[in-house]
Amino acid sequence: MKKAALILPFAISVGLLGGCDWMKDRSTKKENIAAPKELRELTPTLSVTELWTKGTGKGAGKSGVRIRPAVADGKLYAAGVDGEITAIDAASGRTLWNEDFKLRFTGGPGVSGDLLVIGGLDGDVLALDASTGKERWRARVSAEVITAPAIGDGLAVVRCNDGRIYAFDVADGKQRWIYDRPTVPLLSLRGNSAPVINNGLVLSGTDAGKVVALRLSDGAPVWEQALAASEGRSEVERLSDADGTLAVESDVVFGVANHGQVVALGAANGRPLWNRPLSSYTNVDVSASQVYAVDEESQVWALDRTSGSSMWKQDAFQHRWLSGPAVQGGYVVVGDLEGFVHWLAIADGTEVARERLSKDPIRATPVVSGDVVYVEDVEGKLGAYRAQL
């Protein structure tokens, strides 16, 4: 299957055969269609403390993907395109183990219990012992894996760049099923929606702007719902990828697509509950009362969780190519193209704290664990920050 990929924020299309070719990158300043908005002077009203920072290999590098670390049981796991995987004590930043597999990891790790699963640029899927980093099994899929696998009910579920979804037995890596009916447009953004396991279903966004729900036990389709209509006079205008990981809360699925809308769907049957026009290239996140999204101009939106109506919009970060939003208590955390991390109050969107990890872009959504948020830039530098919630 042949497909062209468009890397945001710059409009460069690169032909991909089976989704497995390496991506080119350019300097941050030249990537932007519009100049990034200058940051305002800030007097913090939220106390944020840097706990540690640490280099962990090459990170996403020039792959154009959003490699995100995973946190579980007090440990942080990070991987990069140089083939290294590192386990870190989440509290201190101390390295627990490091393994070099001589592969190009682009999927970001998924962790559950004592199992870590990760995918790579060449279609490799590795399962490791999370305590030691030793390999348990290895499998191969049809295209590169650029999102974290999901693990649950004895299966590791992997989404490929060609739209196929595979399920492997966590014990021995044997393939249990494959969803092989994807529709991948000729032109697509550089990104995929990571699979999510919820109540016996596998949920994932597609490059055609839809959400699909598959039965976890055998991969059979259960329902499908559109987030965007692929309309327009050109391939670029018809881009409708749902690349952000879906948020599932209280049996409701929240998602967003490029040139599409933010939607709330019933998790069991895909029935639309509400929708709100908004174009985004990344994920949404939710709090008890609101849904948060970053639009294609890097404006941050808060929508009412029950109706989709607008609560507030923060436009201070236009064209700073923000990461996806992550909710941390009463705040929303995002990273930007110059290595800054921003905390916004969920009450009104006011920026209340700011830290700088590096001078390199933060493309991956921050990872929240209680009062600590973990952030990774494209060069593999990790930072841990504690907020006084």
Instruction: Tell me which residue of 246, 244, 245, 241 sits closest to 282, measured CA to CA.
Output: 244
Contacts of 105 (CB under 8 A, 6+ apart): 67, 79, 80, 81, 83, 85, 118, 119, 120, 121
- Other CB atoms within 10 A of residue 266 CB: 14
> Using one digit for the tens of pLDDT, what is the confidence trace for 223-277?
999 875 544 454 444 444 456 789 999 999 999 876 678 999 999 999 999 999 9
Asked if 346 contacts 312 with a C-beta cutoff of 8 angstroms, the reply is no
Q: How buried is 131 (Cβ within 10 angstroms: 0-12 exposed, 13-18 middle, 19+ buried)? A: middle
Asked if 209 contacts 240 with a C-beta cutoff of 8 angstroms, the reply is yes
Contacts of 25 (CB under 8 A, 6+ apart): 7, 31, 61, 62, 64
pLDDT of residue 292: 98
Contacts of 323 (CB under 8 A, 6+ apart): 66, 282, 294, 334, 335, 336, 362, 363, 364, 365, 366
Instruction: Tell me which residue of 384, 385, 382, 380 sits closest to 65, measured CA to CA.
Output: 380
Higher pLDDT, 95 or 20: 95
> Using one digit for the tens of pLDDT, what is the confidence trace for 298-345?
999 999 999 999 999 999 999 999 999 999 999 999 999 999 999 999
Instruction: Give the span between the Cα atoms of 41 and 143, in whole angstroms.
Output: 45
> Residue 282's pLDDT band (boundaries 50, 70, 90)?
confident
Q: Which amino acid is at 261?
A: Q
Q: Beta strand pairing status for 135-140 and 150-152?
A: unpaired
pLDDT of residue 243: 67
Instruction: Give the span between the Cα atoms of 297 and 299, in whole angstroms.
Output: 6
pLDDT of residue 189: 47
pLDDT of residue 54: 96
- pTM (predicted TM-score): 0.88
pLDDT of residue 295: 94
Higher pLDDT, 188 or 220: 220
Instruction: Give the span between the Cα atoms of 194 and 202, in whole angstroms.
Output: 10
Higher pLDDT, 85 or 108: 85
Helix (H/G/I), strand (E/B), else coil: 384: strand
Q: Residue-wise over 357-384: b if at least 16 C-beta within 10 A, else e?
A: bbebbbbbbbbbeeebbbbbbbbbbbbb
> Using one digit for the tens of pLDDT, what is the confidence trace for 195-206?
999 999 999 988
Average pLDDT (352-376) is: 97
Q: If you average pLDDT over every residue of the chain, what do you get?
A: 86
Average pLDDT (61-88) is: 92
What is the chain's length?
389
Tokens of 234: 């050109």
Tokens of 12: 């460069």
pLDDT of residue 226: 82
